[in-house]
Amino acid sequence: MTVHAQSYTIYHSANAYLGTVLLRRALAAVPGAALVRRPIFVPRERGVLVAEMLGGRENRNSGSYNREDCHRWADRHGIPFRYPRPEVLVERAARWAHSPFQREELPARAYYAAGKEQRDALDEALFAAAWVEGLDVNEPETIRWAAARAGLDGDALLAAVAAEGPSAEARAALRGFDAHACPGVPTVVVRGERFFGKDRIEWAVEACRPEKGTTPRKVPARKVRIRETDTAFLFSLAPRLAGVPRPPWHTSDAMAGFQDCFMEATLCPPKEGSLTLVAAAANGRRLGYVHAFPGRDGVTDEPCGHIAIIALEEDAEGQGVAGQLMARAEEWAQANGWRLLSIDVFADNRRALDFYLRGGFRPETIRLVKPL
């Protein structure tokens, strides 16, 4: 099983730059580990010149120490690095306050606008722009510079930034950052555990390694508790939902955009009478959730229940968690006196389809698509 290390950063963070370089290097030597980069942005209400997404400004002493410490880390690990003068960041912050984009939103959107196979190169180029070349990644010209370095068309990339897909992915990443209660950047999340700061990269990498002589840890189903909704957590699993097997005529970017838009339409706000339940382990760690709402049968128009979303953390799969969530959804539908409960699934998602069939669901209508 692949272990994913979710990496939350902004580009104007020296600690995020150094930590990401070290994380890439280390994970390359860990079999079965995969880096999932999730660049985020800084909402204006959290401030413009904030320290590492912590919501506050650095004082003079902590700021000077951070610059000194980052230079030590860069020298120790052979990472190209140049820290701009403090007044440069203050000057940029004045521009960021009046930008059409929120701080770090433009580079985050550019990252998500790039094709999946091109994102790593662009990610490295954006960090290099900020911490090697001394450029402001919130400026369109810097995006063009980074795009050229990554072998991309800068004008085409900037045009793609305006599409809904990159914007939705950036918002989903920020929701994931909040849902995991990340203390700042860089934060790496592995199997639900948070590792904050460049000095915790080694610990995050160790968490990606399976224990010797054992299979990767799983959560026993008997420890699962079902509790009421936890909204931020719901959106944090959007990448898991978007990553299901997809029809070959839809790109992974299209699937991600669709999933984010669907979740916003479904959950913001939820329909009246909806059900949202979160499964949690005995230690309180959230494992997955189900969301269902009242609907109408397409043939008889009678009231029925519809399961809109069911999603799990990766290491909670195969432990009976989904079965318990589905059982609670069925109880909810029966308590409402409904005869039918429905769910939609992509035909290529055979694992999910087989799970639903084992649970008693049966195909009703089948939508066919012919690529032209």
Scanning the structure block, which residue is given the tokens 């580079």? 107
Q: At which residue do the structure tokens 């909806």 appear?
A: 274
Tens-digit pLDDT string for the chain (372 aa): 678 899 999 999 999 999 999 999 999 999 989 999 999 999 988 875 554 544 455 566 878 898 999 999 999 999 999 998 888 988 888 888 889 999 999 999 999 999 989 999 999 999 999 999 999 999 999 999 999 999 999 999 999 999 988 998 898 888 888 877 888 999 998 877 889 999 999 999 999 987 533 444 443 443 466 666 667 788 888 888 888 888 899 888 888 888 888 888 898 888 999 999 999 888 888 899 999 999 999 999 999 999 999 999 988 888 889 999 999 999 899 988 999 999 999 999 999 999 999 889 999 999 999 999
Please give the pLDDT value at position 211: 58
Torsion region of 166: left, alpha or beta (phi above 0 gives left; psi -120 to 50 gives alpha): alpha
Domain residue extents for the chain: 3-207, 221-358
CB 33 within 8 A of CB 248: no
| Domain 221-358, second-level architecture | 3-Layer(aba) Sandwich (3.40)
User: Apex CA 322: angle with CA 318 and CA 328, to 5°?
Assistant: 150
Residue 187 burial (CB count, 10 A): 26
pTM of this structure: 0.65
Q: What's the Cα-to-Cα distance from 268 to each of 168, 232, 235, 265, rounded to whole Å?
A: 14, 11, 11, 6
What pLDDT score does 160 carry?
95
SS3 content of the chain, % helix, strand, coil (to 5): 45, 15, 40
294, burial (CB in 10 Å: exposed 0-12, middle 13-18, buried 19+): middle
Q: What is the identity of the amino acid at 208?
A: C
Per the CB < 8 A criterion, the answer to whether 165 and 259 are in contact is no
Length of the chain in terms of residues written? 372
Cα within 13 Å of Cα(284), Cβ side:
2
Q: How far apart are CA 193 and CA 82, in angstroms?
A: 31
What pLDDT does 218 receive? 42
CATH 3.40.30.10 at 3-207, yes or no: yes
The pLDDT value given to residue 185: 93
Give φ, ψ of 106 to 5 degrees.
-60, -50
Alpha-carbon distances of 143 from 104, 124, 152, 193, 262, rounded to whole Å: 11, 12, 10, 33, 29
Residues contacting 338, CB < 8 A, separation 6+:
302, 303, 304, 305
The answer to whether residues 304 and 341 touch, using CB atoms and an 8 Å cutoff, is: yes
